[in-house]
Structures are given as structure tokens and as C-alpha cells.
Chain A
Amino acid sequence: MIQLRSLTKRYGSFTAVNGVDLDVPRGELFGFLGPNGAGKTTTLRMIAGILQPSSGSVSIAGIDLTSDPVAAKQRLGFIPDRPFIYEKLTGTEFLRFVAGLYGQSGAEVERRGRELLALFDLEEWRDELVESYSHGMRQKLIISSAFVHKPEVVVVDEPMVGLDPKAARTLKDLFREYTRRGNTIMMSTHTLEVAQSMCDRIGIIQRGVIRTCGTMDDLRASAEAGVSGLEEIFLRLTGEGLSRELVEVLDA
């Protein structure tokens, strides 16, 4: 469903994403990990059609994003890491607006919107302006908006930031059920337990290049012997062992 070929993004002389090749098939929940500044958000924003690749291609459900962006985006939902939305719209109006951008309206959209708001405990707030929502409530509203038009592919950047435990649990259940129904989700996260417990496959990106990609077993095999958890694998592969420096910093 998501296909990346030699995807590259350069900002002047800096290469943020360097020749990434990736296939995420239908019905898969794919975890995208990496240290800060590794190129995760840039990759996801290219898949969502917000940034244009310097070279390479993105296709969604077999449709090339560059040659037919409207048809490709029609099948896509995007959840960004920062919940910026129209402050002067209510929750209901925002969902109606997003559905409208995808050409959908009517009783079916209204019903789906109400159900999504209820799922994330926002029903009571649905007629209140977004400006009075907390950070977590805005995040929940954005998550709802990504599902309101029933996309086949959802691209998610850091979904758990700002969510309360109940909402985080709801989101995990929603993602599992959504992929079980044959849809595809690609998600970046720093919460390694979430990635380990939820994702079918995991890719680790560092300095714009995919270091490793596969199931947990594949990742264990590619790391050195004796590691089992994703955190250890991640730190081993990305060389982020900081314990010695940490002691030095705290002693300084």
C-alpha cells in the first residue's frame, strides 16, 4: 500500500532522507523508529504529500503521489506530531470540514464524526471551540479527523504524545482493528514498548538511511547476540549508549 523508491530529501547541502526504499503491504501496522533528527518526520511528511522529495518516488495504493496527488491523497489520512488546528471551529465543525476536503458530507459523515468523538471521550466538547481544548484533546480530535473519511492508509507521526492512558489504549485498539480490516498504518514513535507490542514490522532510520527493517525476530538477528528487547536493539543499532556520558554530565 505504501511504496517508497530511492526517496531522498535534501535541504541545501544537508541530506535529511537518503535513498529510502520501503514497502508497507496492505493490512500491516508498520513502526518507524529513529533518534531525534534521523529523518522520520521528513519521510512521513513526504508520504503525506506535504513535502516534495528531492528525488525518488512515493506511491499510495499503487498511485504515484507526484503524478496524481489528488487520487493518492484521497486514500490517505495523516496525523501530525503537533496538533495545530483552526481555533475558531468546534470539534464537530472541524471533522465536517476535514471530511469536506475529501469530498464527503451528509448523514454518514455526521454519524461517523459523532462516533469518533465519542470513542475519544470528546462528545461533551463537540460544540465547543477548539481554542478551549487541551493539548491532548486537540490530538484526539486530529486523530478522529484522520479516520473520518475512511482512508485506506494512515500515516501517523508520534501518536501517543499528550494522550491520557485511556486514550492511548483506545488508539492502540483502533489501530489494531483498523489494520485487521485490511487497512495500512505507518507510525513513527519514540515509545518503544508501543512499537514492540503493536507493530507487525519495524524500520529503524538513522541519519536519513534505513539501518534495519523487519519483524522483531529479524531485528534481534541483525543486532548483536544477547539482546532481546527493542530498546536494547535500538540503542545497539543506533549507537546511542549514553550511560558513561550521563554520569559525567551529572558529576559536572
Chain B
Amino acid sequence: MLDALRALLLPKLFTARARMRSKERGRGARTAVLAAIGGIFWMFAFGVLHRLLAYFRGVPEIGPLLAGKLLGLILVAFFSILLLSNIITALSSYFLARDLDLLASAPVDWLALYSAKLLETCVNSSWMVVLMAVPMLTAYGTVYDGGGAFVGLAILTFLPFLIIPAALGSATTLVLVNTFPARRTRDILSIIAVIAAAGVVVLFRLVRPEKLVRPEGFRSLVDFIAVLRTPTSPLLPSEWVGRSVMGWLTGSLDLLPLYLLWSTAAAAVVIGALLHRWLYARGFTKAQESSQQWAREGGLGRMVRLLLSPLGTVRRELILKEVRVFFRDTTQWSQLILLAVLVVVYVFNIKFLPLTGEGITFFIVNLVPFLNLALAGFVLASVAARFIFPGVSLEGRTWWLLRASPLPIRELLWSKFWVGMVPLLVLALAIVGVTNSLLQVSTFMFVVSVFTITLMTFALAGLAVGFGTMYPRFETENAAQIPTSFGGLLYMMSAVGVIGAVIVLEARPVYSYLSAISFRGGESPPTAELVVGFGLAAAVCLTATFWPIRIAVRRLEALER
């Protein structure tokens, strides 16, 4: 069995090793930037937690309770992420991976296959959580003087904490695939995942956690301590990890949670293995079935075709193709739900901004629409990263067709630009329009906002097409993974740079104008300053629109696949 397991795992190890050793151009710089960003994130997370925990430690009686509660909350979040991520990853590793045909036809022991795939699922789903857990546990260990042995305890508690959701997630997927065809299951899972994530965001926001920090929320200290002493979720592995860690750190280590963690992990793996033996062959056969889907052009399709006719045949067909492919792919459109939720939360936040009362000056009232522009720009940049940035990467497998056709590359990229830019602009104008109405801004600020956000949308879409082409991920089939690449990171950095530049260029002339109008009634508005500021902002945006696409055209023309 162990030999078979080794044989199944070796190709994965060799692949990882080859990837690390590859001499791809710019790899060193990419690794350095990613390592720097990772390092900054770790330092930041560690710094914040360290400060908070140090403060808690100084509070007698309730300090350790607060630290434990915080740890419990973080671990519950980790456990939910791990479970959801394992369910989705298990679908790929057990049912859709490309090596499965080979493995299914080879005389591989069922237990070896189960174990190898469980390990693969566990590693692929958990690495990010582990990376986030390291600064967190380090902060706890240093503040509470956990000592060197704390590292051992942390590993001992975290291992079963990762194995349990992997075994549970794999088993859930196994049952789901036996109920629905695998490809349909993927659709269902992607929608469930998105709705779950959206639900968590909405719930978290609607609860308005900022209210909880108000001391008047609790009737007495006794009530407060009673709440802290109650376990958040006694039956969840996250609670057991929390109790082990806090037990060690406060000098009262209880072995029961550790025992519970390891015995539950063992039980989950054994039950998972038995289920695998019983259901896998049938599920794998079912996974080969494709879902039959028919599509015929109806009245709406014909109308859209007619409306797009003035653009010419090539552009019309490119746009129609983009729209069809997007709306027929559940993994793509389902993310619109999450997007809608984020926008609602954003608007909700603006609505509850305390913009009246003491200490709210004229400067602050006019600063908010500007910050709103920057934040809306950031939201739009994230949307463009998810929906426009992957456009060229997704053409990877069909690149032969586009390249062998007389379609000019410029035409292809500008089609991608317009298909992404127009909906983005609608979203941008809706966000700015609604938030400006809620903020009750003046007509002047309204015009400034609409002008700026329109220019920014052009720039963000241009940057997304440009960077998406310059750093393509042709081999990735999952569009959601593409923006998480190095190119995606560079795109977000440059997008933030452009948004910042526009805000800085416009802030001063707008402030001068508003001061002249409001405080110095008779004074004429600073027209020259306005023209220069807005002219420069427009120039920045137009450069960010055209320049990346120009470079992208050249890169794509030279691309060989």
C-alpha cells in the first residue's frame, strides 16, 4: 500500500520541484515581490495581533478569556474556509483531474488512491490557511511566552485540524457526485460557495460589530465574563484547537481537546475511506457523464445581433461570443452574486456614515465624496481584475483559431476592452450616483464624481486588458484563479496608483473651488487651476487606457503557442 501511495504522490512532488527550478524569465523578480508582499502581510498581521494580545494580557481576569475568544473566532472562520475549500478541491482531485483516467485503468489499490487524493486535496485547500495561521500563532506564542515547545504543540493541534475538513469535504463531494453528475455538481457547488460567502459578508455587516465594542452594550461585568466563558461552538474542532492552545499558554494544558482532535481526524479518515470504497467507482463513472445543454438563438439573441450590427461582423461576433461564454459558465456568472453583495455592503456603509453633528467640518463633508471616489475606484479595480483581467488567458486553448484567422490582434483586445468596460461603467455610475445621493453632495461634486469615475473606469479596463495580456495564464481553466497571479497583483498595484494619482490631481483644485464658492462668496472660482488639475487627471486616465493595450497588442502579436 505504501509503495502505491509513494508512486501516486511522486509525480506531484516532481511537478512542484520542476516548477521551482524552472528558469522562466522574470521568475526571480516575481518571487521577490511575492515574498516581500507576503512578508509585509505577516508582519502586519503579527504586529496587530501582538499589540492586541499584549493589551489583553495586561487586563486581569478577563484578558485570557478575551484572547481565547478571539482565537476561537479566528479558528471558526478558518474551519469554515477549510471545509468549503476542501469540498470544491475534492471535486477536481477525485473526479475531474486529468490523471484520473490513467489511475482508473491502473491496478491501483483503492486505499492508496483515497489516501493520495486526500493528501492532495488537503494540501491544495489548506496552504493559504496555514500561511495565515503562522503569524497568528506566533503572536500568541510570543505574548504568552509559549516557549519552543509551543511550536510542537501548534503542529500537533493543527495537523488534525487540517485533516478533519479534508476528510469531511472529500466525503461530502463523494456523496454529491453520486447524486448529481460531476459537472452539474461543480455548478451547484460554485453557486453554493458564492452564496455562502455572500451570506457571511451580509450577516457580518448587518450585525454592525462596531456596536459590540461599546461598553454600554452589557448590563454588568458579570454578564460580560459569562459571555466570554461560554464556548463559541463546543462541538467544532476549532474549539478544541483553541482550548489546547490557550491551555498550554495559560499553564493549564488539558489533553482532552487534543485527544478529541486526533480521534475525530482518525474517525473521519476511516469513515471517508469506507465511503470511498463503497461509492467511488460509481461516482467516478457518473462523473464522466456530461450534462446535455441545448441553446438556440431566440428573439432576444436576434435583437442583440441586430443592435450590434453597426459594429461590423467581426466585432459583433466577438462580442456575442464573449457574452455567451460568460453567461453559460456558472463559475463565471455566479460571482456576480458576490459582486452585488459587496456593492450593497459598500452602499450600506456609506448610508451609515455619521456626517452630521459635532466636529464634522466643511472639509470633512467634502472629503468624503473624494474618498468615496477612491473606494469606488478600488471596488471597480477588483471587479475588473476578476472579470476583465482573465479575458486573454481564457483564450489560451483556442488561441490557434484566433491566430490562424485574419482577425487583427488590436481588434480582439479592443473587443475585450469594450465588452468589459461598458458593464463596468454602468456599475461605476450606479455606485457613484447612489452614494452621492445618500451623501447629498452638491451639483458641482456630482459632476466631478461622474466625470472622474468615467475616466477611471476607462483606465481600469485598459489596465486590466493590458496586464491580463502581458501576464497571461493560458493553462489555468478556472477564471477565478487567474487574477491571483503575479500579473494580477501588478495590475492591482498599478490600478491603485492611477486612482491615487487622479484623486491627488483633482483634490486641490476642487478644494480651492469649494472654498471660493462657500467662504469667499464674491471671489471668482479658480478656473485655471481646475482646468490644469482635471486636464492632468484625464491625461493620466487616457494614458492608462491606451498605453497598456498598445503594449499588449505588440506582446500578443509576438506570442507563440
Contact = CB atoms under 8 A, between A and B. Distances in A.
Contacts of A69: 406
Contact of B406 (A51, A101, A131): A101
Nearest to B403: A50
Given A88-B324, A132-B290, A132-B292, A51 B560 contact: yes
Interface string B235-268: 0000000000000000000000000000000000
Interface string A68-90: 01111110101010001110111
A97 B321 contact: yes
Given A84-B398, A101-B317, A129-B328, A49 B293 contact: no
Contacts of B340: none
Tell me what chain A mostly uses at the interface: helix, strand, loop, or mixed.
mixed
B316 interface: yes
Interface string B266-291: 00000000000000000000000011
Contact of B404 (A73, A90, A129, A131): A73
B398 A85 contact: yes
A37 interface: no
B405 interface: yes
Contacts of B296: 90, 127
A84 B397 contact: yes
Nearest to B292: A132
A228 interface: no
A102 interface: yes
Interface string B149-184: 000000000000000000000000000000000010
Contacts of A104: 313
B406 A127 contact: no
A88 B560 contact: no
B400 interface: yes
Given A89-B321, A127-B295, A129-B295, A100 B404 contact: no
A101 B407 contact: yes
Contacts of B183: 131
Contacts of A74: 406
Contact of A128 (B293, B402, B561): B293
For chain B, the bracket of interface size reads 35 or more
Interface string B316-327: 111011001100
Contacts of B400: 45, 48, 50, 78, 80, 84
A50 B293 contact: no
Residue in B297, B320, B404 with the greatest tally of chain A CB atoms within 10 Å:
B404
A73 B328 contact: no
Contacts of B397: 84
A99 B329 CA distance: 23
Contacts of B318: 100-101
Interface in A118-153: 127-129, 131-132, 145
Contacts of B312: 103
Contacts of A99: 317
B107 to A, nearest CB: 21
A49 B558 CA distance: 11
A96 interface: yes
A51 B407 CA distance: 15
A211 to B, nearest CB: 26
A100 B558 CA distance: 24
A90 B313 contact: no
B291 A132 contact: yes
Contact of A93 (B290, B295, B404): B295
A100 B398 contact: no
B58 to A, nearest CB: 59
B59 interface: no
Given A86-B321, A98-B401, A101-B317, A127 B408 contact: no
Nearest to B402: A101
A45 B561 CA distance: 9
B180 to A, nearest CB: 16
Contacts of B317: 96-97, 99-101, 105
A132 B457 CA distance: 38
A93 to B, nearest CB: 7
Contact of A50 (B292, B316, B324, B404): B404
B14 interface: no
Interface string A35-62: 0000000000100111110000000000
Contact of A102 (B290, B294, B406): B406
Given A100-B316, A101-B314, A105-B313, A76 B404 contact: yes
A165 B325 CA distance: 33
Contacts of A86: 321, 325, 398
Contacts of A90: 294-296
Nearest to A50: B403
Interface in B352-409: 397-408
B223 to A, nearest CB: 56
Nearest to A88: B328
Contacts of A102: 405-406
B412 to A, nearest CB: 10
A89 B296 CA distance: 10
A132 B406 contact: no
A90 B325 CA distance: 10
Interface in A99-113: 99-105
A126 B561 CA distance: 29
A87 to B, nearest CB: 8
Residue in B401, B403, B560 with the greatest tally of chain A CB atoms within 10 Å:
B401
A76 B293 CA distance: 32
A49 B405 CA distance: 8
Contacts of B314: 100-101, 103
24 contacts: A48-B400, A50-B400, A50-B561, A52-B560, A69-B406, A70-B406, A70-B408, A73-B404, A76-B404, A80-B400, A84-B398, A84-B400, A88-B329, A90-B296, A93-B295, A98-B405, A100-B316, A100-B317, A100-B318, A102-B405, A105-B313, A127-B294, A128-B295, A129-B294
Interface of B: 183, 290-297, 312-314, 316-318, 320-321, 324-325, 328-329, 397-408, 558, 560-561
Interface of A: 45, 48-52, 69-74, 76, 78, 80, 84-86, 88-90, 93, 96-105, 127-129, 131-132, 145
Given A88-B328, A100-B313, 20 more contacts: A48-B400, A48-B404, A50-B403, A50-B560, A51-B560, A52-B558, A76-B404, A85-B398, A89-B321, A93-B324, A98-B401, A98-B405, A100-B314, A103-B313, A127-B294, A128-B292, A128-B293, A128-B295, A129-B328, A132-B293
Top 3 A-B pairs, shortest CB-CB distance: A100-B317, A78-B404, A101-B405
